[in-house]
Amino acid sequence: GAGVSQSPSNKVTEKGKDVELRCDPISGHTALYWYRQRLGQGLEFLIYFQGNSAPDKSGLPSDRFSAERTGESVSTLTIQRTQQEDSAVYLCASSLTAKETQYFGPGTRLLVL
Partner 1 sequence: AQSVAQPEDQVNVAEGNPLTVKCTYSVSGNPYLFWYVQYPNRGLQFLLKYITGDNLVKGSYGFEAEFNKSQTSFHLKKPSALVSDSALYFCAVRDLSGNTGKLIFGQGTTLQVKP
- Name the site residues for partner 1 (rule: CB under 8 A): 4, 6, 31, 33, 35, 41-43, 45, 48, 50, 56, 59, 91, 93, 95, 97-107, 109
Whether the CB-CB separation of 32 and 48 falls below 8 Å is answered with yes
Instruction: Please report, in angstroms and rounded to a whole number, the separation of the first and last CA atoms in the chain.
Output: 37
Residue placing its CB nearer to partner 1 in the complex, 82 or 94: 94
Residue placing its CB nearer to partner 1 in the complex, 7 or 80: 7
107 class by beta-carbon count within 10 Å (0-12 exposed, 13-18 middle, 19+ buried) = buried
Q: What DSSP designation does 85 have?
A: G
What is the smallest separation between the CB atom of 93 and partner 1, expressed in angstroms?
8
Enclosing H/E stretch for 47: strand 43-50
What is the smallest separation between the CB atom of 97 and partner 1, expressed in angstroms?
8
Among residues 77, 88, 70, 69, the alpha carbon closest in space to that of 19 is found at: 77
What is the smallest separation between the CB atom of 65 and partner 1, expressed in angstroms?
16
Three-state secondary-structure class, residue 89: strand
Residue placing its CB nearer to partner 1 in the complex, 67 or 93: 93
Residue placing its CB nearer to partner 1 in the complex, 39 or 84: 39
